Structures are given as structure tokens and as C-alpha cells.
């Protein structure tokens, strides 16, 4: 049964300060992936096939589906076609582009360049006869893609500090580690510290694998969370970076921390009596959904909005080469 809300008027609405985190929302890799699908639709017309969700956000996926994108889990769901076939921002195992080549698909790789960086790191370690340890979440598309860059058995996935204690790498083989790009910065630091304590000679990435966008959004949440009564993270449940933002807010001392896709999903009973609300968005959540949440609160509260900024972002990734060349013609 819906929860009754008082018949607020402009004069008796309770005041609510909304602290909006910045940076928030789309990162450069997500913008590039979405633009790749839209550009392919503009150049070639529908359909455009996309393997897996281009990014983990239902609103974005449904918007692209209405424009003519067809999302599939695996390439064997795609009929023989000359239409573009796009790989999602999360990256794919090496077997996927090989399969696409065998079937003569026009494949476009929209993998985030920062994920591709992790793939190349793993390959370099393998060529140097190192066993690779991947810190990440089992089953996440990015992890599946990274593990799929190397032959079976060449890479070991660990998820927790406890996993480090039980890690049994090949005897006599040098170790190196890489990480998923969307992890909790603090959790990963603990796991890496445990790895280095147990394996002092383990080779680290030349540059941090957790991407700039993940780090910046978590830092903004850490700044805001202790100041507010509740925090809303706009994002999808299957979005790793969005889930980590919710966890960061919780650990920073925010009493109520919720991941919400749309305003219609708000459980208003959780926000009764609050005076300060924190608001952010995962890297795959569009700003229109943030505005939708603010509008929903403005119907029930006298809202005052303040932006809390912890970093400026100017990162830009160009479209995949095939689409750049077509756009230039």
C-alpha cells in the first residue's frame, strides 16, 4: 500500500538541504560507449546489435532500444547480418571478437580505454611469464572480459582479503596483479596491502587500475556522507561502481544509504523527517535521473540545492576508429 504523504503546500513544506556530489554521473568511457551506439544508428540506421548492456543502466539501455539498438547476451543470438555489432564498455574475452570475425560481422569495440589498459597489462605480465592475480567481483562482465584475455589457468581471481590467505600461485612463478576498474578504493587498498604483505615481490600496475571516475565519485561521497541524514545514489543494481558508492556512503557514517534507479522507486518512509540529503549518481547514470529525483523531493520539501565539488573532470575518449572514419567521410 502506498505511504500517505502530508498535503504539503508551498508554505508548510519542511525544509530540505540537498548536497549534490560533483563529480557524479557519466564518465568518459560511458559517454564514448553510448555515443558509439548512437553514431552507428545515425550512420547505418537500425538495427545495431549490442553484446550485453552497453552500460549498466536500464534507462540508457531502454532509450537506445527505442532508437533501434538490439541487445543480446551472446553473438549466437545475432542472425547473419551486415549491421554493426558493438561490444559494451565493460570489455569482452578474446574469444568474442574472434567469433565475430569468423562470422564476418562488422564489429565495433566500445570497450572503455581504461579497461583495455588492464587487458594490455595482463597480457604483458603473461608474456613475461608472470601469473596474474585479478582483484574483482566474480561474474561481472569486466572481470569476465579481463580473465578472457589470457589462457585458462593464467589468471586467478580474488575478491577479499580472506582470498589472499588462501591464494596458491604456481610454484616458482613471479606474480603480478591487476584490478577491476570500478572497485571500492578502500577495499582494494586493503586487498593489495595483504597481497604485498604475503608476496612482497608481486608486481604492481604502473598506474592505478581503478579508474579516475570511480575514485573521484567515491571521494565526493566521502565528503558529503558524514554531513547528511540520508544519501541517494542514482544507478542500476547491476552497476558495480554505483553499488560501491552506496557502500562508501554507508561506511562514511550516513544513516540511510540507498541505490535508486528512478524517482518512482523511492521509499518515502525512509526519508521522513530528514533535513539534509546527499545525492550522487553512478558513472552510467544520466543527469536527467538526478534531476528527476530532485523534482520528486521538491514536491514534498522546500528544497535548497548545494553542489559539493571535490574534483574537476576533463577526460575525453574519442569514438572507436571505425566510427570516427565513417563520420569524417
How many angstroms from the chain centroid is the CA of residue 172? 36
pLDDT tens for the chain, residues 1 to 329: 333 344 444 558 999 999 999 999 999 999 999 999 999 999 999 999 999 999 999 999 999 999 999 999 999 999 999 999 999 999 999 999 999 999 999 999 999 999 999 999 999 999 999 999 999 999 999 999 999 999 999 999 999 999 999 999 999 899 999 999 999 999 999 999 999 999 999 999 988 899 999 999 999 999 999 999 999 999 999 999 999 999 999 999 999 999 999 999 999 999 999 999 999 999 999 999 999 999 999 999 999 999 999 999 999 999 999 898 765 55
CA dihedral (149, 155, 157, 158) positive or negative: negative
Residue 38 designated active-site: no
> What domains lie within the chain, and their CATH numbers?
15-26+213-309 (3.40.1010.20), 28-112+317-328 (3.40.50.11270), 114-198 (3.40.1010.20)
How many residues appear in the chain? 329
How far, in Å, CA of 222 to CA of 254, rounded?
10
User: Which whole-number Å values give the CA distances from 241 to 61, 63, 183, 238, in the listed order?
Assistant: 17, 21, 7, 9
Please, are residues 121 and 209 in contact by the beta-carbon 8 Å criterion?
yes
| pLDDT confidence of residue 2 | 37
| pLDDT confidence of residue 7 | 43
- Cell digits of residue 160: 577479499
Half-sphere exposure of 105 (CA within 13 A, CB side): 25
| pLDDT confidence of residue 324 | 85
Helices and strands (H, E) in the chain, number of each type: 11, 12
| Annotated catalytic residue, options 80, 142, 174, 313 | 142
Amino acid at each position: 500500500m502506498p505511504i500517505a504523504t502530508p498535503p504539503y503546500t508551498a508554505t508548510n513544506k519542511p525544509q530540505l538541504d540537498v548536497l549534490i556530489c560533483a563529480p557524479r554521473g557519466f564518465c568518459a568511457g560511458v559517454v564514448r560507449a553510448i555515443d558509439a551506439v548512437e553514431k552507428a544508428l545515425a550512420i547505418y540506421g537500425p538495427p545495431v546489435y549490442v553484446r550485453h548492456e552497453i552500460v549498466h543502466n536500464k534507462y540508457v539501455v531502454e532509450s537506445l532500444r527505442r532508437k533501434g539498438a538490439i541487445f543480446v547476451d551472446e553473438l549466437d543470438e545475432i542472425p547473419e547480418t551486415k549491421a554493426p555489432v558493438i561490444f559494451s564498455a565493460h570489455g569482452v574475452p578474446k574469444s568474442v571478437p574472434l567469433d565475430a570475425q569468423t562470422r564476418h560481422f562488422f564489429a565495433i569495440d566500445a570497450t572503455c580505454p581504461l579497461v583495455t589498459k588492464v587487458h594490455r597489462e595482463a597480457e604483458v605480465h603473461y608474456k613475461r611469464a608472470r601469473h596474474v592475480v585479478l582483484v574483482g567481483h566474480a561474474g561481472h562482465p569486466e572481470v569476465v572480459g579481463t580473465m578472457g584475455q589470457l589462457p585458462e589457468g593464467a589468471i586467478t581471481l580474488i575478491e577479499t582479503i580472506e582470498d589472499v590467505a588462501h591464494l596458491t600461485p604456481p610454484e616458482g612463478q613471479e606474480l603480478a596483479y591487476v584490478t577491476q576498474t570500478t572497485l571500492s578504493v578502500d577495499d582494494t587498498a586493503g586487498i593489495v596491502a595483504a597481497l604485498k604483505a604475503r608476496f612482497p615481490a608481486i608486481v604492481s600496475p604502473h598506474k592505478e587500475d581503478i579508474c579516475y571516475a570511480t575514485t573521484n565519485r567515491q571521494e565526493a561521497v566521502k565528503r558529503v556522507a558524514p554531513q547528511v541524514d540520508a544519501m541517494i545514489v542514482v544507478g542500476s543494481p547491476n552497476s558495480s561502481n554505483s553499488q560501491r558508492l552506496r557502500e562508501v556512503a554507508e561506511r562514511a557514517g550516513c544513516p540511510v544509504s540507498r541505490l535508486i534507479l528512478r524517482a518512482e522507486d523511492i521509499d518515502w518512509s525512509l526519508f521522513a523527517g530528514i533535513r539534509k540529503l546527499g545525492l550522487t549518481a553512478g558513472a552510467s547514470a544520466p543527469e536527467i535521473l538526478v534531476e528527476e529525483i530532485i523534482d520528486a523531493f521538491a514536491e514534498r520539501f522546500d528544497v535548497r540545492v548545494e553542489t559539493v565539488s571535490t574534483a574537476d573532470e576533463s577526460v575525453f575518449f574519442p569514438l572507436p576508429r571505425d566510427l570516427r572514419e565513417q563520420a569524417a567521410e
